[in-house]
Amino acid sequence: MLFSLDLKWIVLERLFVSRAQKRPPRAMPSALWRAGLLLCLLSSCSCLERCVLGIVGRPVSLPCLSLRLETLINFSIEWRRDEEVVLRSVFEERKPVEELSANSANIPDDAAQTGNFSLELPTVDPKEHNKIYSLIIISEENPNDVLCTVCLQIAASFSTPMLLQREDAEEGGELTFLCRSRGGFPEPSIHWFINNTEEPPEGSVRTVTAPLPDSHLFNVTSHLTTNISRGSSVSCSIENQLINETLTSVILGVEDSHVVIRASQAMWIFSTALCAVVGVLVIVGVGYQIFLDRLSKRKKRDYEQSIRGNKRRSPYRETEVTEETAVMKSDPKETGV
Closest among 132, 151, 148 to 44, alpha carbons compared? 148
Portion of the chain with pLDDT greater than 70, in percent: 70
Give me the mean pLDDT over the 126-130 stretch. Answer: 92
Question: Of 267 and 188, which is predicted with more confidence?
Answer: 188
Q: What pLDDT does residue 222 have?
A: 96
> In degrees rounded to 5, what are phi and psi of residue 180?
-130, 145
Q: CB 335: neighbour CB atoms within 10 A?
A: 5
Crossing angle of helices 30-44 and 2-22, in 10° steps, is: 140
Rounded Cα gap, residues 148 and 52, in angstroms: 13
Predicted TM-score (pTM) of this structure: 0.58
Taking all residues of the chain, what is their mean pLDDT, rounded to a whole number?
Answer: 77
Cα gap 240→182, rounded to integer Å? 12
Within the chain, what is the greatest distance between any pair of CA atoms? 181
pLDDT tier, 169 (very low <50, low <70, confident <90, very high otherwise): low
What are the chain's domains?
43-155 (2.60.40.10), 162-256 (2.60.40.10)
Using alpha carbons, list the distances in angstroms from residue 91 to 61, 101, 105, 109: 21, 15, 17, 11
What is the predicted pLDDT for the residue at 293?
A: 83
**pLDDT of amino acid 99:** 86
Dist. CA 271–CA 255, nearest whole Å: 22
Say if residue 262's pLDDT is above 60: no
Which H helix or E strand runs over 154? Answer: strand 145-155
Within its chain, how far is the Cα of 190 from the centroid?
20
pLDDT band at 124 (very low <50, low <70, confident <90, very high): very high
pLDDT digit string, tens, across residues 51-86: 999 999 899 999 998 877 777 888 899 999 988 999
- Nearest-10 Cα torsion for 18, 21, 23, 24: 180
Confidence band (pLDDT; 50, 70, 90) for 230? confident
pLDDT tens figures, 47-59: 446 899 999 989 9
Q: Where are the alpha helices (DSSP H) in the chain?
A: 2-22, 30-44, 111-114, 257-330
Residues 239 and 245: beta-carbon distance below 8 Å: yes
Which amino acid belongs to residue 161? P
In this prediction, residues 186-190 reach a mean pLDDT of 94
- How far apart CA 33 and CA 13 sit, in angstroms, is 9
For residue 64, give Cα distances in angstroms to 2, 49, 59, 73, 104.
Answer: 14, 11, 16, 19, 18
**pLDDT band, residue 43 (cuts 50/70/90):** very low
pLDDT band for 172, please (50, 70, 90 cuts). low
